[in-house]
């Protein structure tokens, strides 16, 4: 009886591990995410449910903290005590809302993951294409995958037709701060306003 | 023709020397690809006002027109896009030659010849099936970039949108280098009657206008998404414009070539 109990616990753990785990191979990692996102976009009935499920994927597969630091750039040095934690919390909310909002408009995206290019031991670029529809042409999408921990790759940037979303975000943040005479609190207010929309 | 070419060269030399960058206020600096390139604002307040004007015009005119265009059957839209691209390839061809990209120039010449004849005035694209693939558009701003001209400062033009000092000069250069403009313009002068005949100059503006509507129609959702998710749309478009120009000047197809890793490495060090 005791042996059966251990087997059941082991099986539950194995299943749980599998359902939350992703491949350590960057190409396979992206393929799994693409398939998972596609399934949610096709199966989920409401936009709210899609947003919740997509947020869960983003929290597991995107290096949100890394992207948050990158987006702030050198302005990170201006943060006072406690502001970094506040910024990270705000950024996560902002990122998830922005990320899910961009995706929920797609009903059945067809993405083919094509190849990989190892930049260095910390980064691999995974190349893919979003196939053309009647409304728009084919779109090249490159995923910057952070591989410092080879067992747990994480996405740090999406490069669409050569245009980096992370860099665009970083320059947008810098613009908000600069146009308000270097006041970083204005960025915090803007992020709060965005997430409250 | 020789005199026009000389004008272009003089413009290029001025731009090269940085004379046309005079007056830059530099209210904001953007690190470019990280390869020691920075693009400053020329006059941000005016540019933001121009951006608002363009955004208003887009909402009132260009977006509704693009939506109407997209209601047309797919074969008509594809054919229209192909005709415009075929005519546009002549400007690309001129710039391929100026950049010394003779392989690309040959590819474009072959594409134009095949698509204009077998493709029935460019409506179809049989050239791609024959192995002459589209290798992207070129303009005189890109040519100046290839020649090593600095981008100068960034600003927004009414209706025409984002640009830099170099690219604004490029816009002027395009007029001289575009065979479609030259043919329509010179024919109109020869006829002595404005707007008369198939080759009159107004047809050049129709072709450019249709090209703009075709582009806008292909990007309705992308622009809506950008608008919805931006906290500063002006800055987002500026960033995207500058990244796009960098990539086009480098004739790059991979992010690895134009994106810089140093900023990412900096966060790892923290």
Q: Per-residue pLDDT tens for B6-32? A: 444 444 434 333 333 333 333 334 344
Is residue B117 less than 8 Å (CB to CB) from chain A? Answer: no
Q: Is A54 exposed, middle or buried (0-12, 13-18, 19+ CB in 10 A)?
A: buried
Average pLDDT estimate for B208-227? 93
Residue B60 is classified by DSSP as I
Q: Per-residue pLDDT tens for B171-181? A: 999 999 999 99
CA atoms of B103 and A104, how far apart (whole Å): 43
Of B231, B234, B255, the CB nearest to A190: B231
Q: Which residues contact B235 (CB under 8 A, 6 or more apart)?
A: A171, A172, A174, A175, A176
CA atoms of B147 and B140, how far apart (whole Å): 10
Decide if A187 contacts A79 (C-beta within 8 A): no
Q: B90 versus A18: which is more confidently predicted?
A: B90
Closest C-alpha to A105, from A174, A31, A54, A68 = A54
Instruction: Give the residue ranges of chain A where pLDDT is below 50.
Output: 13-20
The pLDDT of residue A48 is: 85
Q: Is A4 exposed, middle or buried (0-12, 13-18, 19+ CB in 10 A)?
A: exposed
SS3 A149: coil
User: B239 and A171: CB-CB below 8 Å?
Assistant: yes
Q: A98 versus B201: which is more confidently predicted?
A: A98
The pLDDT of residue B78 is: 94
End-to-end CA distance of chain A: 55
CA atoms of B91 and B112, how far apart (whole Å): 11
Of B230, B239, B256, the CB nearest to A119: B256
Residue B199 is classified by DSSP as T
| The two three-digit tokens of residue B223, written as one number | 């622009």
A residues 68..87 contacting B (CB < 8 A)? 69-70, 73, 76
Q: B5 versus A61: which is more confidently predicted?
A: A61
* Stated length of chain A: 197
At B38, the pLDDT band (50, 70, 90 cuts) reads low
Closest C-alpha to A95, from A196, A162, A191 = A191
Average pLDDT, chain A: 87
pTM of the model: 0.84
Q: Per-residue pLDDT tens for B138-185? A: 999 999 999 999 999 999 999 999 999 999 999 999 999 999 998 888
The pLDDT of residue B30 is: 39
Per-residue three-class SS string for A33-63: HHHHHHHHHHHCCCHHHHHHHHHHHHHHHEC
- Which one of A133, A163, A169 would you mutate to disrupt binding with B, by most B Cβ within 10 Å of its Cβ? A163
Is residue B71 less than 8 Å (CB to CB) from chain A? Answer: no
The pLDDT of residue A101 is: 85
Is residue A174 less than 8 Å (CB to CB) from chain B? Answer: yes
- Look up the ipTM and state it: 0.85
The pLDDT of residue B8 is: 42
What percent of chain B shows pLDDT beyond 90? 66
The pLDDT of residue B130 is: 95
Closest C-alpha to B86, from B188, B179, B220, B162 = B179
Average pLDDT, chain B: 84
Closest C-alpha to B124, from B76, B90, B160, B91 = B76
Minimum Cα–Cα distance from B235: chain A residue:
A172
The pLDDT of residue A81 is: 82
- All residues of chain A having their beta carbon less than 8 Å from the beta carbon of residue B267 are 66, 69-70
Is residue B236 less than 8 Å (CB to CB) from chain A? Answer: yes
| The two three-digit tokens of residue A59, written as one number | 């929290």
Is residue B13 less than 8 Å (CB to CB) from chain A? Answer: no
Residue B257 is classified by DSSP as H
The pLDDT of residue B107 is: 97
Closest C-alpha to A95, from A121, A117, A64 = A64
Decide if A50 contacts A40 (C-beta within 8 A): yes
Minimum Cα–Cα distance from B268: chain A residue:
A66
């Amino acid at each position: 009886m005791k042996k059966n109990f251990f087997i059941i616990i082991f099986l539950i753990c194995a299943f749980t591990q599998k359902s939350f785990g992703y491949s350590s191979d960057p190409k396979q990692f992206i393929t799994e995410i693409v398939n998972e996102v596609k399934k949610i976009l096709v199966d989920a009935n409401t936009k709210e449910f899609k947003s919740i499920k997509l947020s869960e994927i983003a929290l597991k597969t995107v290096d949100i903290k890394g992207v948050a630091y990158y987006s702030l750039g050198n302005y990170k040095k201006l943060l006072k005590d406690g502001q970094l934690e506040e910024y990270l919390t705000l950024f996560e909310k902002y990122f998830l809302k922005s990320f899910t909002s961009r995706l929920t408009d797609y009903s059945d995206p067809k993405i083919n993951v094509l190849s990989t290019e190892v930049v260095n031991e910390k980064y691999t670029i995974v190349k893919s294409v979003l196939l053309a529809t009647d409304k728009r042409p084919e779109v090249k999408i490159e995923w910057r995958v952070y591989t410092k921990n080879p067992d747990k790759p994480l996405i740090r940037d999406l490069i669409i037709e050569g245009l980096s979303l992370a860099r665009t975000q970083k320059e947008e943040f810098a613009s908000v701060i600069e146009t308000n005479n270097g006041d970083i609190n204005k960025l915090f207010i803007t992020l709060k306003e965005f997430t409250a929309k | 023709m020789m005199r026009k070419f000389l004008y272009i060269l003089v413009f290029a030399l001025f731009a090269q020397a940085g004379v046309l960058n005079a007056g830059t206020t530099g209210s904001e600096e953007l690190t470019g690809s990280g390869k020691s390139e920075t693009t400053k604002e020329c006059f941000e307040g005016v540019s933001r006002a121009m951006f608002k004007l363009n955004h208003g015009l887009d909402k009132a005119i260009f977006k509704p027109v693009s939506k109407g265009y997209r209601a047309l059957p797919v074969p008509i839209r594809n054919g229209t896009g192909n005709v415009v691209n075929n005519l546009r390839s002549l400007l690309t061809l001129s710039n391929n030659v100026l950049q010394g990209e003779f392989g690309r120039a040959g590819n474009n010449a072959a594409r134009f010849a095949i698509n204009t004849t077998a493709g029935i005035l460019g409506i179809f694209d049989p050239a791609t099936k024959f192995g002459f693939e589209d290798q992207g558009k070129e303009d005189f701003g890109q040519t100046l970039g290839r020649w090593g001209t600095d981008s100068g400062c960034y600003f927004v033009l009414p209706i025409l949108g984002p640009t830099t000092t170099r690219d604004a000069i490029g816009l002027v250069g395009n007029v001289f280098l575009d065979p479609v403009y030259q043919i329509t313009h010179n024919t109109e002068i020869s006829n002595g009657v404005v707007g008369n005949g198939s080759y009159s100059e107004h047809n050049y503006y129709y072709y450019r206008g249709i090209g703009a509507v075709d582009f806008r129609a292909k990007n309705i959702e992308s622009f809506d998404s950008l608008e919805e998710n931006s906290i500063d749309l002006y800055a987002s478009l500026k960033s995207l414009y500058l990244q796009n120009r960098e990539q086009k000047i480098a004739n790059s197809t991979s992010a690895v070539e134009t994106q810089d890793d140093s900023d990412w490495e900096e966060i790892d060090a923290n």
